[in-house]
């Protein structure tokens, strides 16, 4: 059976339908960042950690398609591209991730400046900004260690040995922090030996 509606109500029902459709599209648009994170970025991180890099790349790209401002997806895609030896693509993703105040992205970009471009002043500038921003957003011990290590490395390459030693010593002091990843310490000690 079909519902019969008098013709005089058609305009009102059409307007109501348009309003409901607009509200629905608005709600969908508002939920895209959450959808991107839940269904694409987070599973992409799991695939990345499991070594399924092609699926991870697809997931991160889909997240970015849904939400171009998903800085975590940009950061993770940057890490993936760096692992795939694609530093230019990694650099682009890190630059986008930095806009979301992801200190690890700034650190990774600085490291690329040291390794790829030999642009030590740019690396130092990025790393110092990261340390300065710690007053607003405290760094976790792993990230702070990496920032200090890379700052010490850049200063070593600039032949600024006293500052290189000071930053590397700060990084070494962090290694006694509870829950610190012990695998990350060898580079710091090797750099300190070079300073000495």
How does residue 35 score in pLDDT terms, banded at 50, 70 and 90?
Answer: confident
Percentage of the chain surpassing pLDDT 90?
A: 67
Q: What is the pLDDT of residue 30?
A: 58
What tens digit of pLDDT does each residue of 104-137 get? 999 999 999 999 889 999 999 999 999 998 888 8
C-alpha 97/C-alpha 70 separation (Å) is 8
In this model, does residue 187 exceed pLDDT 80? yes
- Is residue 141 a contact partner of residue 180, using CB atoms and an 8 Å limit? yes
Name which of 106, 92, 56 is nearest 76 in CA terms: 56
- Is residue 154 a contact partner of residue 114, using CB atoms and an 8 Å limit? yes
Q: What sign does the CA torsion over 23, 27, 32, 35 have? A: negative
Q: What is the pLDDT of residue 29?
A: 59
C-alpha 163/C-alpha 73 separation (Å) is 34
pTM to 2 decimal places: 0.82
Number of Cβ atoms within 10 Å of the Cβ of 107: 25
- Scan for tokens 């079909």, then name that residue: 2
Mean per-residue pLDDT for 160-174?
96
């Amino acid at each position: 059976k079909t519902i019969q509606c008098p013709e005089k109500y058609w305009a009102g029902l059409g307007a109501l339908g348009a309003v409901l459709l607009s509200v629905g599209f608005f709600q969908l648009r508002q939920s895209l960042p959450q959808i991107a994170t839940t269904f694409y970025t987070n599973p992409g991180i799991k695939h990345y950690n499991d070594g399924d890099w092609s699926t991870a790349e697809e997931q991160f790209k889909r997240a970015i398609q849904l939400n171009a401002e998903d800085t975590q997806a940009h950061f993770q895609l940057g890490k993936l591209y760096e692992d795939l030896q694609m530093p230019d693509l990694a650099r682009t993703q890190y630059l986008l991730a930095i806009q979301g105040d992801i200190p690890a992205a700034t650190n990774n970009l600085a490291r690329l400046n040291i390794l790829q471009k030999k642009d030590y002043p740019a690396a130092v500038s990025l790393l110092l900004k990261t340390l300065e921003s710690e007053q607003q957003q405290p760094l976790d011990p792993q990230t702070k260690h990496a920032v200090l290590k890379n700052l010490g490395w850049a200063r070593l390459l600039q032949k600024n040995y006293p500052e290189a030693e000071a930053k590397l010593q700060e990084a070494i002091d962090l290694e006694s922090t509870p829950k610190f990843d012990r695998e990350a310490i060898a580079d710091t000690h090797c750099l300190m030996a070079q300073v000495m």
